[in-house]
Amino acid sequence: MAPALLQIVLILAVMTALVIPVGNWLYSVASGQKDTALERLTYRVIGVNPQEKMDWKRYGLAILLSNLAMLLLSYLLIRLQGVLPWNPAGLAAQAPDLAWNTVVSFMTNTNWQAYSGEQSLSYFSQMAVITTFMFTSAATGFAGALAFMRGLAGRDGSNLGNFWVDVTRIIYRVLLPICFVLALVFVGQGMPQTLNAYATATTLEGAAQNIALGPVASLESIKHVGTNGGGFFSMNAAHPFENPTPLTNALHILSMLLIPSALTYAFGRMLGNLKQGWVIFGGMLVMFLGSLALLYGFEQAGNPILSKLGAEQAITAAQAGGNMEGKEVRFGIAQTALFATTTTAATTGSVDSMHDSYTGMGGFVPMLQMMLNNVFGGKGVGFINFVQYLILGVFIAGLMVGRTPEFLGKKIEAREVKLVMLAVLAHPLSILGFTALACTLPGALASLNNPGPHGFSEILYAYTSGTANNGSAFAGLSANTLFYNITIGLAMLFGRYLTLLPMLAVAGMLAAKRRVPTGSGTLPTDTLLFGGLTVFVILIVGALTFLPALTLGPVADHLQMAQGVVLKP
C-alpha cells in the first residue's frame, strides 16, 4: 500500500511541478510574435498569410477544411496500403467501412481502433497515416483551445488568432521536440524502432515465435504527448513493446497530463489572472484524485469470486495482488489505476490493462470520467468543456441570486447559454441515444463478449468512448461490424465538432462584447467557492444525466460480483 501511494504521489508531484514551466512555454508559443525560418517556409509552401486575423467563423472553417483534407488524403493512403512501400508482412488494405472508422477516429483524436495494429496496418500506414494524424489532430484541438482562450481573454476584438500559425507552431515548437527526445528514452527502455520485417525466434522449448516489430517508439511518444491513444499493437500500452518498464509507464502518464494541465496556467497568463487558471487546475485535480482513489481501491480489493476458488489477491511481501485478470505484473495495481484514470481523464484512450476485466465499480470510474469529459481533458477539448461548465455555473449562480450572469467581465446572455447547452446536451444524447439503439438490435447484441450487466457496459463504454473522443474500450466487444463502425464513427464526429464549434462561437461572441466593469453584483469566478460550485455543477449534471445508465451497467455488475453471482454467456 505505502509504495503504491508513494509512486502515485511522486508522479502527480512531477506533473504539478511542470505546470508552471510548461504553461509559460505554451503561453509564449501562443503569443510570440516571431516566426522561425522553418515556420516561414511552411507558410510559403502551404500558401497562407500568417498575418491574417481570423474571427471565430473563419477559424472554425479552417479547422473543418484542414480536417477534411487530412481525412481524404488518409483514407486514400490507407486504402492503397497494398501498393505502398514498407509493408513487410504483406498486409492487405482495410475494407471501406473499417477504413472510414479508422480515419475518422484518428482525425477526431479519438483513436478508437476496430482493427488490430500488427495484423492490419503496414509500417507505412502506421507512420504516414496514424503518426501524422496524431500530430495534426492534437495540434488542431490545442489550436482550438488557444483560439477559445483568446476569445475569452478578449484582448483583440473578434480576432482569435491564425489557425495555420497555431498549428504549425504547436507541431514544430512543442510536439516534435518533446516526442523526439521521449522516443529516444523509450527505445533505451526496450521499445522497438525499426523498419525490418517481423522477427522469428525459436523458443527455449523449440516452438516458433513470430515477433511483430515496427517503428513503435516514434508513434508511442506522440500517442501520449498528443493524448491520442491509438496503439501500434492490438493490446496497446499493455504490450511490452509499447510499454516495457514502469518508467515508460510513468512517462506515458506524465506525457498525457503534460499539456492539458499546463494549459490552465497558460490560460491564467492570457487572462492576466493566474488565480483563475489555478481554480480550473484545482477543480480538475480534485475530480481526478477522487476517481483515482475509487479505481485503485476497487481493483486492489480484487474479485471475491476468485478468492473463493483459492486465488490469493492480498498484498504480500512477494506479490502486489489485486484483480490481475487483464493486467501486467510490472505495473501492478497502483500504476495501472493511475494510468487508467489518466487515460480516461485526458481523453487519451490508450490502455495498459484491459478495462473490460475490471470489477464493476473499477469500470465505473473510466466511464464516469469520459462522461464528465473535462477532468484535464485532451488537447484543448477538456479545457473547453470545463469552461463550458464554468459558464453554466455562472448562469446557475446568477439565477439563484437574481442577477445577470457575467463571466470574465462579459455578460452571459441567452444566445451563449443556448450554445453552451447545445454542447452540454449533444454529449449525453449521442452516448445514450446510440447505446439505446444498439440495445434494441439483435445484430448489435451479437457482438457482446460478456453476459448480463457487464454486456450492457460494453456497449455503453463504446459510445461513451467514441463521443468523448477517448478511444479506450471494453475491448471484448467485437466492434468491427458495419453497424458499430458507422455509428461509433458518427458518435466521434458529434463528440468532436458539436463541442468545439459551439464553444468557439461562444468565445467569438464574448470577444465581441463590451467588457462590463466589476461591480458589487459581480460573482468572482477565481475563488475557491466558485471552483467548488463548478465541480458540483459538473457532478450534478453528469450524475443526473448518466446515473441511470451507470446503475444498469457497472453498479449492477459490481453488486452481482459482491454477491458471488456468476453469469453464463
Partner 1 sequence: MTIPDPLFHENIRLQPEPTPTPLPRLLLNSFLAAGLFTLVCGLGYPLLTTAVTGVLLPHQAQGSLVTQGGKVVGSAVLGQQFTAPKYLHGRPSMTSKTDGSGPQPYNAENSGASNWGATNAKLRDSVQERIAAFRQENGLSTGTPVPVDAVTASASGLDPDVSLATALLQVNRIAQARNLPVAEVEKVIREHLTGRQFGVLGEQRVNVLAVNLALDGQK
Write out the binding residues for partner 1, residues 421-450 only, by CB under 8 A: 449-450
- Contact pattern from residue 104 through residue 143 relative to partner 1, giving x for each residue in contact according to CB under 8 A and a dash for the rest: ------------x-xx-------xxx-xx-xxx-------
Cα angle 187, 193, 199 (rounded to 5 degrees) comes to 115
| Nearest distance from C-beta of residue 284 to partner 1, angstroms | 24
- Contact pattern from residue 55 through residue 84 relative to partner 1, giving x for each residue in contact according to CB under 8 A and a dash for the rest: x--x--xx--xx-xxx-xx---x-------
Among 147, 152, 287, 324, binds partner 1 (CB under 8 A): 324
Residue 411: strand pairing partners: 406
When asked if residue 569 is in the footprint of partner 1 (CB under 8 A), the reply is: yes
Count Cβ atoms within 10 A of the Cβ of residue 496 and give its class: 0-12 exposed, 13-18 middle, 19 or more buried: buried
Query: Near partner 1 by CB under 8 A, which window of 283-291, 313-321, 376-384, 429-437?
Result: 313-321
CB nearer to partner 1: give 24 or 193: 193
Query: Near partner 1 by CB under 8 A, which window of 240-248, 389-397, 416-424, 483-491?
Result: 240-248
Among 16, 28, 36, 319, binds partner 1 (CB under 8 A): 319
Which grid coordinates are listed for 5? 501511494
Which residues between 505 and 564 bind partner 1 (CB under 8 A)? 512-514, 557, 560-561
Which residues between 358 and 387 bind partner 1 (CB under 8 A)? 358-360
Among 153, 179, 538, 549, binds partner 1 (CB under 8 A): 179
- The DSSP result for 25-40, as a single string, is HHHHHHH--PPPHHHH
CB nearer to partner 1: give 249 or 374: 249
> What is the H or E stretch that residue 290 is in?
helix 274-301
**Phi and psi of 211, rounded to 5°?**
-115, 110
Residue from 357, 162, 338, 375 nearest 252 by CA: 338
Measured distance CA(300)–CA(362) in Å, rounded = 10
Among 87, 101, 357, 545, binds partner 1 (CB under 8 A): 357
What type of residue sits at position 518? T
- The DSSP result for 114-140, as a single string, is SS-HHHH--HHIIIIIIIHHHHHHHHH
| Nearest distance from C-beta of residue 358 to partner 1, angstroms | 7
Which grid coordinates are listed for 183? 522516443
Among 20, 80, 211, 544, binds partner 1 (CB under 8 A): 211
When asked if residue 199 is in the footprint of partner 1 (CB under 8 A), the reply is: yes
Which residues between 392 and 421 bind partner 1 (CB under 8 A)? 411, 413
When asked if residue 259 is in the footprint of partner 1 (CB under 8 A), the reply is: no
Which residues between 440 and 499 bind partner 1 (CB under 8 A)? 449-452, 454, 457, 474-476
Which residues between 23 and 42 bind partner 1 (CB under 8 A)? 42
Which grid coordinates are listed for 520? 458589487
CB 151 within 8 A of CB 56: yes
Which grid coordinates are listed for 291? 476517481
Among 30, 54, 254, 535, binds partner 1 (CB under 8 A): 54
Query: Near partner 1 by CB under 8 A, which window of 308-316, 372-380, 391-399, 437-445?
Result: 308-316
CB nearer to partner 1: give 183 or 432: 183
Among 60, 229, 332, 495, binds partner 1 (CB under 8 A): 332
| H, E, C per residue of 171-239 | HHHHHHHHHHHHHHHHHHHCCCECCCCCEEEECCCCCEEEECCCEHHHHHHHHHHCCCCCCCCCCHHHC
CB 447 within 8 A of CB 478: yes
